[in-house]
A and B are shown apart, each in its own frame.
Chain A
Amino acid sequence: DAEITQSPRHKITETGRQVTLACHQTWNHNNMFWYRQDLGHGLRLIHYSYGVQDTNKGEVSDGYSVSRSNTEDLPLTLESAASSQTSVYFCASSEAGGTQFFGPGTRLTVL
């Protein structure tokens, strides 16, 4: 069955370190999204991509970057982790106009 996976599921890191969160989908969807979820804020869009080599900034993109070298993967990189980036991160994918499928989430703690 097609699915969307995220790794790691839990990560603890120190401020200033570079961290990469992986997202892999086997739906062959063109659209992929990264969100962070914080209490009282719901989900906020970090970056999104509508296809290979396409990336776009979302509402809270500062301090994050993504690259899309193939259809299946959209890794999220925190260039220099900050305590304010402690959050739960969700990846999602969809076809244009189609249902969005979410991964299980990555809980990131920055100490």
Chain B
Amino acid sequence: AQSVTQLDSQVPVFEEAPVELRCNYSSSVSVYLFWYVQYPNQGLQLLLKYLSGSTLVESINGFEAEFNKSQTSFHLRKPSVHISDTAEYFCALNKLVFGAGTILRVKS
């Protein structure tokens, strides 16, 4: 069985502060991990993905995530957030299993 757990339902943070959104997974098969972002009333957009190779993956807008096999984690980080990063973020495993989502609220 496969599962994804996002440990925080909401994360409030001030603008320009660092943030980490946590994701843990469970799988008995090979893992491909994804982070998606959803802005209000829109569909999901891919933020970054880990398929193989380097365990640290980056997105074009400053987010990064590190695949940690021993801790079965794929946490999403950004060193300095902007108001425009306010959205809901989903961690996904093998395109078939999604976490419950984490709402990131960036405050000025």
Residues of A within 8 A of B (CB): 31, 33, 35, 40-45, 48, 58-59, 90, 92, 94, 97, 99-105
Number of B positions contacting A (CB below 8 A): 21
B46 to A43, Cβ gap below 8 A?
no
A-B contacts, 6 of them at CB < 8 A, read A31-B95, A42-B100, A43-B90, A43-B98, A97-B32, A100-B95
Find the B residue at minimum CB distance from A44. B98
Question: Which of the 9-residue segments B14-22, B37-45, B65-73 touches chain A?
Answer: B37-45
Whether B29 is near chain A, meaning CB under 8 Å from some CB there, is: no
A42 to B90, Cβ gap below 8 A?
yes
Contact A45 B46, CB 8 Å, known A97-B51, A100-B34? no
Find the B residue at minimum CB distance from A6. B43
Query: A residues within 8 A CB of B105?
Result: none
Query: B residues within 8 A CB of A41?
Result: 100
Find the A residue at minimum CB distance from B2. A59
Query: B residues within 8 A CB of A90?
Result: 43-44
Q: How far is the CA of A31 from the CA of B96 in the complex (A)?
A: 11
Q: How far is the CA of A94 from the CA of B32 in the complex (A)?
A: 14
Whether B56 is near chain A, meaning CB under 8 Å from some CB there, is: no
Query: A residues within 8 A CB of B101?
Result: 42
B45 to A35, Cβ gap below 8 A?
no
